[in-house]
Each structure stands twice: as structure tokens, then as C-alpha cells.
């Protein structure tokens, strides 16, 4: 694991953007794994800037997002589809056909998970996966007690996750209780992983991810076994290392 501790959110975002942009410059048809949440917003802003300055093009890139809430349609403002369009895709030259996000409205969820996993395999796997981390150590929506061998699947969200994510909704009752998420196995098959964390709220989870036991109770701890992980965090997130 490479651990980079930087001064602040801005520096974290810029470092991550240089890594993603380098990946795409070196391999224009890269397969990117993308995350949502507050953490990667600065990274996406920076990628948009690099695109506008014509330093990188996403024309041939394919992307697979980590997760989506069950029951939210693509045009629902809380859906991860909406988030990705607003915060990245509509500002760069991604081909819309190359964008993949699990369908939270699929009629048959089990089939949707199999379809998603198959599509990742057909693309020959993810070259670079961007991750955030939950306060409980989740990655994607792989909550504590996850089975490490899981592929894309339907998950029940932890109470802690529902509470933390309720900040994006009008009330806690509106937060979906289930989601479709890539599994740990899917994430571990990515060739490279970049995990981003900022703020004191992530300090515990980060310390356990890097120094703790590898355990399904702290899903991100499995990353200790990945061959190419870079963790970029600000000083607050690193404060318990
Ligand atoms: C969400 C997402 C994760 C994300 C995490 C942290 O629930 N499913 O992919 O990394 O929580 O979110 P944030 O970056 O807003 O702290």
C-alpha cells in the first residue's frame, strides 16, 4: 500500500486527478471504476479542468460505477446516475454508451447484478478503481460483515450509513435501505486502486484499514492484500495512524 498524506482536500483531489489523468493518457481506452459521495467531487472538478485545458480526453474511456441505490430512477436527484452526470459526465467528452452504473430500477435485481458483473468481465476488468470510504469502513456499499468473495449484489445498508447519507435527503425516511454494489471480489480484481479520504470522521476507519486486522468487520481492510493500492488522505484523516 502506498500511503500519501497531504495538506488538505484540494491537494488530495489534485493528486488523485493526476493519477487518473495519467492512467487515461497512457491508455486512452482505460476502464475506470468510479465512486460517488463528497470525497471524489474535487477529483471530478479537477478532471473537468484538465479536459477543458485539453490535457486529457475521455473519448475512449469506459466507466463502471461502484453502486446505486435500489428504487431510485436515473433522473432522481439523489441517485448516483444523476450525481455522475451532474458532477462529471456532462462536462467531459465521455461517450454516454461507455458509462455503466447499476440500474436501481431493474425489474429483476439478481439478473441486473449478473449482467453488470459480466459487462465488467467483458471489458477485461477495471484498470483503475477510485474509492471513498464510509465511516464504518465500507467501500462501495460493502458494509461490515460482508463476504469477501461477493461480486455485484444487493446489499442492506447499515443504520450508520443510512444516517450518514441522510444529509443528502429531505429526511432520514427517504434514504433507500438497499443498494446494488460491486462486491469486494469485483473491487479486488481491479488492476489499480486509489482510495481517498479526508476529515477527522474517516480517521478511525483509515487507521483500521491500514494498520488493523484484515476482517469483514472493516471491509476496506481487505485492500491490504491488493497489489497496487494508493491511499491519499488529508492530515485529519491520517491523524489516528
Ligand atoms: C457512500 C458510497 C461510497 C462512499 C462513501 C463515503 O455511501 N456508497 O462509495 O465512498 O459513502 O461517502 P463520502 O465521500 O460522502 O464521505
- Mean pLDDT score across all residues of the chain: 97
124 CA to centre of ligand 1 in angstroms? 26
The answer as to whether 241 is a domain residue is no
Contact predicate 12/233, CB 8 Å: yes
Determine the Cα–Cα distance for residues 127 and 146; give it in Å rounded to an integer. Answer: 24
Confirm whether 239 is domain-assigned.
no
Does residue 20 lie in a domain region? yes
For this structure, is 60 an active site residue? no
In a domain, 240, yes or no: no
Please state the domain count of the chain. Answer: 1
62-65 and 31-34: which strand pairing? parallel
Residue 53 lies inside a defined structural domain of this protein: yes
pLDDT bucket at 209, cuts 50 / 70 / 90: very high
Question: Residue 47 has what pLDDT?
Answer: 98
Tell me 158's DSSP state: P
Q: Give residue 161 CA to ligand 1 midpoint distance, Å.
A: 9
Collapsing DSSP states into helix, strand and coil, what is residue 153? strand
Q: How far from each other are the two terminal CA atoms of the chain, in whole angstroms? A: 14
Q: Any idea what the CATH number is for the domain that residue 192 is in?
A: 3.40.50.1360
* Atom number, ligand 1, closest to the C-alpha of residue 140: 9
Pick from 12, 36, 83 the residue to mutate for probing ligand 1's pocket: most ligand atoms within 8 Å of its CB. 36
CA distance 164 to 182: 20
Expressed as residue numbers, the domain containing 135 is 2-234
The verdict on residue 104 lying in a domain is yes
Give residue for cell 493518457: 25
**Is 130 part of a structural domain of the chain?**
yes
Half-sphere exposure of 68 (CA within 13 A, CB side): 28
pLDDT digits over 49-67, tens only? 999 999 999 999 999 999 9
Amino acid at each position: 500500500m502506498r500511503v500519501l498524506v497531504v495538506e488538505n482536500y484540494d491537494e488530495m483531489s489534485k493528486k488523485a486527478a493526476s493519477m487518473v489523468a495519467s492512467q487515461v493518457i497512457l491508455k486512452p481506452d482505460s476502464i475506470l471504476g468510479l465512486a460517488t459521495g463528497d470525497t471524489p467531487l474535487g477529483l471530478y472538478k479537477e478532471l473537468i479542468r484538465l479536459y477543458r485545458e485539453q490535457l486529457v480526453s475521455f473519448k475512449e474511456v469506459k466507466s463502471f460505477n461502484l453502486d446505486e441505490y435500489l428504487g431510485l430512477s436515473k433522473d432522481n436527484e439523489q441517485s448516483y446516475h444523476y450525481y455522475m452526470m451532474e458532477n462529471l459526465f456532462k462536462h467531459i467528452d465521455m461517450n454516454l454508451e461507455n458509462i455503466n452504473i447499476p440500474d436501481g430500477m431493474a425489474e429483476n435485481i439478481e439478473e441486473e447484478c449478473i449482467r453488470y458483473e459480466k459487462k465488467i468481465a467483458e471489458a477485461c476488468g477495471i484498470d483503475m478503481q477510485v474509492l471513498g470510504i464510509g465511516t464504518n469502513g465500507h467501500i462501495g456499499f460493502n458494509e461490515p460483515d460482508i463476504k469477501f468473495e461477493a461480486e455485484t449484489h444487493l446489499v442492506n445498508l447499515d443504520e450508520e450509513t443510512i444516517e450518514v447519507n441522510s444529509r443528502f435527503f429531505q429526511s432520514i425516511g427517504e434514504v433507500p435501505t438497499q443498494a446494488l454494489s460491486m462486491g469486494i471480489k469485483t473491487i479486488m480484481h481491479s488492476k489499480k486502486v486509489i482510495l481517498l479520504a479526508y476529515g477527522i470522521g474517516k480517521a478511525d476507519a483509515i487507521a483500521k484499514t491500514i494498520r488493523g486486522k484484515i476482517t469483514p468487520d472493516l471491509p476496506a481492510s481487505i485492500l491490504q492484500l491488493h497489489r497496487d493500492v494508493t491511499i491519499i488522505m488529508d492530515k485529519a484523516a491520517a491523524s489516528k495512524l
